[in-house]
Structure 1
């Protein structure tokens, strides 16, 4: 009982997103989503707070941006033969959002605040699918607050840094391989809010010519830690209740990995801007998932399972063409490597290599008010895995996502 329970429990705290490698979201700006989510090597307006704080110092006006997307993700599952049972996750619409504000102290010094959601998703498999002992439902939320300062050293070089203050929470539910006296299967729910955690975002922006610009950005690792989270059991048979005591709490840590990005921008004409970004995400920080319980659960106060994520690369390309002073058209694409090794696939992170295609449009109603609309389509490679190293659910997973978004910009 003890070993089987912990095999089921391992890996439940970190949710997969059907839209990015691991459990990232990567939807930080509607304008930049339209350009394949590039932005480190170009001026992106107020969203430079996220993409490269060094470029924020080049903003000509003060500004505020408010934007959000609506994620419609689809994750399908097929069990191994001979059963070959199928299931599809019933996912809620995710609503990642971003708010940015920038104010100029003088011509060289700018300050700003960004609020955005770089990690988080929700997956609902239900309580009847064949992998219900692995997962029924999970919600992960992380919100970053980033006060930022940027300084233009010269006409060609800008530097910037932002303090990241992160908050979040998690809720997961799953079925236990136990039956109560009335035939109901046992249930487990883990629910907790993370302590405030800290990190930073730093960038350098270099524009050697009017047509060429280069940027480097580093977003540090942030560790979200849940302490005294609630462990809730349901429909536990009387004979097993001593192994699943009421009032149990848990502690666990969620690593939000660091990202290093190099970006290049090129403007062959005044109307056309091209951008390329290459990122390395240090997923190797996620070596294992450990739960510490306040009292023995299934005979032990500790559960730890290996994850052994690998560092992964993301390659992005995008462009913007200004049809007129008011209208801009955008398009982009990217390839996002999965950090999940063979043998470690789980229903919370049914991850595989991702390909994304995007399009967008920007329209300025006045000199002070403009809107950005975007649409992103993501197709993840179908992946079959034995999940023999992670305590996950063996089988084949396939994920896609459709993400429209809208942002409004105000200048003053």
Structure 2
């Protein structure tokens, strides 16, 4: 029991961070979301700060863009024997945002950009009654990336660019502890902390003709560090010495990404994009927590994660109905990095299919509105081996994500 308690305490917090990153519900640009979140091989708009800094130099107008999405997610759980208990998460709606600015002198090949976006930001809420309450009651996570970027156009066909990333965020996790007070109530644990880290984003963009373009980007690993987080416990007074309120430290590697993107323009009105993305999740092989004081007899916990590197395959298209109105559609297939035996209620991950659509309307020469809708269906997945202290059973996840952005060019 002692080992299981420590495993739950150690696993739950930062694996939830991986849900937001490994979840790969990327929402960094409304045009791109509508096209299956493609964009590495295109110079579409100010969101190139994220998708390909090299393409940013091919944006000849200065501009700003602000967009937001609403993540509506539901997770269903079925206990696979003996009780066949069911549960559904009651997740609050997440509202990640993305803001970009690109500017430079009209005659210059040099462009400067700034991106502020939330690639990690979601919540999971199972409540205190379900069978997996000793693994998780609820989890809330927000991370904000701030990325100043520079891009340079070499001749008419090539652009290169790079940006520095500073990540800051916070996480709150709550779970029940399998120790009861005199009234039979479970104990309660809450882990709350701020995390930060540094990384970078670099890319190259090549457009040899009006019909074809290609881009290659690399987003580095970011080591998210939690320093002096708060671990608080509510237990019977007779157990208080075993579960003291204390601090904790931990580090989570958010994986690097390599993406190759192609753009095809068979006509002035039609653009087709293909992206292949490799996510280097093998950087996340274990998770360790160090506590300021012994919790249930130990000053640290460590558990295996053993995530695998995976590929995401994306396809999208945009058709300009008129000079002011555009329609978009796309989809992708996302392989899960979670191996058999490592499924958890924070990240009940599985291979996923994303289907998206969108539209854009130019109100004037300066203002444009873009909207998107993304539906994600994760395969039903059963995992009973519990190598990572998870809650064995069958999980099914569906996600609905509408989004809207406004942009201004000058």
The separation in 1 between residues aligned to 2:144 and 2:86, in whole angstroms, is 34
- Residue 287 (str. 1) matches residue 285 (str. 2): yes
Residue 146 of structure 1 pairs with residue 147 of structure 2: yes
Partner in structure 2 of residue 137 of structure 1: 138
State which of 262, 266, 269 in structure 2 corresponds to 1:268. Answer: 266
1:330-341 → structure 2 map (5 Å cutoff): 330-341=328-339
Q: Structure 2: 5+ residue runs without aligned partners? A: none
Distance 2:20 2:128 in 1: 26
User: CA contact under 8 A between 1:136 and 1:174: conserved in structure 2?
Assistant: yes
Are the equivalent residues in 2 in contact too, given 1:21–1:354 (CA < 8 A)? no
**Deviations 1:238-271, CA, capped at 9 Å, x for gaps:** 332221113x111011221110000000000000
Q: 2:153 and 2:56 mapped to 1: Cα distance? A: 9
After superposing on structure 2, the runs of 4+ consecutive aligned residues of structure 1 that deviate more than 6 Å are 17-21
Query: Take 1:17 and 1:168, find their aligned partners in 2: how far apart are those partners?
Result: 10
* TM-score between the two structures when normalised by the length of structure 1: 0.97
The Cα shift of 1:40 comes to 0.2
Match of 1:249 in 2: 247
Alignment of 1:369-408 (within 5 A): 369-408=367-406
Distance 1:18 1:215 in 2: 27
**Helix, strand or coil for the counterpart of 2:130?**
coil
Give unmatched runs, 5+ long, in structure 1.
Answer: none
Partner of residue 225, structure 1: 225
In 2: Cα distance, 1:405 partner to 1:18 partner: 23
Distance 2:296 2:24 in 1: 32
**Matched length:** 409
Tell me if the contact between 2:4 and 2:389 (Cα under 8 Å) persists in the aligned partners. no
The one of 296, 301, 304 equivalent to 1:303 is: 301
| Partner secondary structure for residue 151 of structure 1 | strand
Q: Is the contact made by 2:7 and 2:302 (CA closer than 8 Å) also made in structure 1?
A: no
Please identify, of 392-401 and 100-109, the stretch whose mean Cα deviation from structure 2 is larger. Answer: 100-109
Counterpart of 1:37? Answer: 37
Q: 1:409 aligns with which of 402, 407, 410?
A: 407
Q: 1:19 to 1:227 in 2, by over 3 A?
A: closer
2:202 counterpart residue number: 202
Query: TM-score when scaled to structure 2?
Result: 0.97
Q: How does 1:58-97 map to 2 (within 5 A)?
A: 58-97=58-97
CA RMSD of aligned residues (A): 1.4
For residue 387 of structure 1, report the CA deviation from its aligned partner.
4.2
